[in-house]
Structure 1
Amino acid sequence: MSDDRPLGYASPPCLAHEVDPAYFDPLAVDPQQAADVARWRRTTRERLLAERAALPASARTEMGRALAAGLDALLAEQVGPVSGRIVSAYWPIKCEPDLRGWLRRLLAAGATTALPVVETRAAPLVFRCWRPGARMTRGHWNILVPPEDAGTVTPEVTIAPLVGWDAAGYRLGYGGGYFDRTLAALSPAPFVIGVGLEAARLATIYPQPHDVPMDAIVTEAGLRIVRGR
């Protein structure tokens, strides 16, 4: 925003896109700014989801293969052998890249694989063990999840789906805040990898105090960012 504007005036709605990222304060708690960011995120989320849904199924399949290859390379470099490790991913919704085949390969290599589950609304996720062909139930938002008797684990590596992302490692998700709550609560902290489309890169998501950055981001174009921990 221009520096010569009078101080104390409330900004009009949806001005977040006009804020130069170099001057945006990620720790700002100004209510008007937070409202502007929330509105900007809603419209940006809707646009990115529509663009992703418009991709041909064949293109999404190829992107999923490329993402799996990128994840394999990243894990080999940052984590090492997956045997004995606990890795969580997600059940794909809303045209997300499908990584279930990649999870199957990790399971075959000796990893424990898990999926996130909403057990309590507005609370951190839990992670239940998953195996191909295992019984599934309908969970929050009608998403298929492992049943309660599948057993819970704490992941050492967790994959977070991205609607949008920025070069600082911040994630634009679906707006429920579940991943941020979960990542803030998990101890020990897992290695968190965001996966999404290259076209979903944003100059910034205008991070707020509750946003938790990813440790790494992988797109179909390869590894885009690894942050120091």
Structure 2
Amino acid sequence: MAVPSPTKSELRARALERRRDYARALTSETRAALEADLGRIVLPQLIGARIVAGYHPMRDEISPYAVLDLLGGEQVAALPWFGGRDVRMMFRKAPAAEAGPWGVLQPPATAEAVAPDTVLVPLVLGDRQGTRIGHGKGHYDRALSHLRAAGPVRTIGIAWETQISDAPLPADPWDVPLDAIATPREWIQCR
């Protein structure tokens, strides 16, 4: 009898637990060093990017600030912004200065709205083909689909090493694949 493949919900739950355990085991010095390593790996990939969107990390996510803080003078850092829980995610110029609908810091509503050409995407679990499992609300898939309808947008998932699956992950038709994934130790070109 064949064992059924785990569902996305089951994969998400296991990956969240693994990410939590990994991140909480790091000392603050080790975490800062790993995030600095992430910045050194990603920054050379951003040559030519004009508007780079990151996110304000929550829970045990790896922080994109080590990348955003290294952007060149002509490059603009942006972050997700929500006008409400049921509104599509937009991007506004950084910095994050006020709590959004879920309590995560975001730019103020008065910050300039922007359309990034590169998005650093958080993930719960990702595979080497660019399939991403997030928190399951679809915010990034909807926002990235909207951005790509207006023009090319490069997507780079960022994660801890423990969040990379060598086995292909299940994808739904609406899932937006990642172009690449970066960890503190590896650049994975997906597409």
Q: Provide TM-score, normalisation by structure 1.
A: 0.74
Match in the other structure for 1:43? 13
Alignment-mate amino acid for residue 56 of structure 2: W
After superposition, the Cα gap between the structure-2 partners of 1:185 and 1:192, relative to the gap in structure 1 and judged at 3 Å, is same
Q: Does 1:197 align with 2:163?
A: no
Aligned to 1:94: 59
Shift, 1:153, TM fit: 0.4
Paired with 2:15 and 2:135, the residues of 1 have a C-alpha distance of 7
Letter of the aligned partner of 1:68 in structure 2? G
Aligned twin of 2:111:
150
> Is residue 2:184 matched to residue 1:220?
yes
User: Are residue 52 (structure 1) and residue 22 (structure 2) matched?
Assistant: yes
C-alpha separation in 1, matches of 2:16 and 2:38: 23
SS in 2 for 1:182: helix
Q: Note the C-alpha offset of 1:38.
A: 3.8
Q: Tell me how far 1:110 sits from its aligned partner.
A: 1.7
The 8 Å contact of residues 123 and 178 in structure 1, kept in 2 or not, is answered as: no
Deviations 1:4-31 (A, max 9, x none): xxxxxxx9xxx323xxxxxxxxxxxxxx
Q: Is the 8 A contact 2:122 2:157 kept in 1?
A: yes
RMSD: 2.1
Partner secondary structure for residue 69 of structure 2: helix
The structure with the largest alpha-carbon Rg is: 1
Q: Report matched runs for 1:1-229 at 5 Å.
A: 2=2, 15-17=4-6, 37-56=7-26, 57-76=28-47, 80=48, 82=49, 85-106=50-71, 108-131=72-95, 136-186=97-147, 187-202=150-165, 203-227=167-191
**Structure 2 contact 130–181 (Cα < 8 Å) conserved:** yes
Could you state the TM-score of these two structures normalised by the residue count of structure 2?
0.87
2 CA distance for matches of 1:67 and 1:194?
A: 11
- Contact 2:53 / 2:80 at 8 angstroms: preserved in 1? yes
Deviation at 1:171, TM superposition (A): 1.1
Instruction: Tell me, yes or no, if the aligned pair for 2:98 and 2:107 is still in contact at 8 Å.
Output: yes
Code of the residue aligned with 2:122 in structure 1: it is P
CA distance in 2, matches of 1:93, 1:43: 16
Q: 1:180 to 1:48 in 2, by over 3 A?
A: farther
Secondary structure of the residue that 1:142 maps to in structure 2?
A: coil
Unaligned runs of 5+ in 2: none
Unaligned stretches of 5+ in structure 1? 3-10, 18-36
8 Å contact kept, 2:19–2:160: no
Post-superposition shift, 1:103?
Answer: 1.5
Divergent runs of 4+, >6 A: none
Aligned amino acid, residue 16 of structure 1: S
- Secondary structure at 2:36 match in 1: helix
Answer 1 or 2: which has greater helix percent. 1
Shift of the alpha carbon at 1:52? 3.1
Pairs aligned (count): 187
Instruction: Report if the CA contact (8 A) 1:124-1:179 is conserved.
Output: no
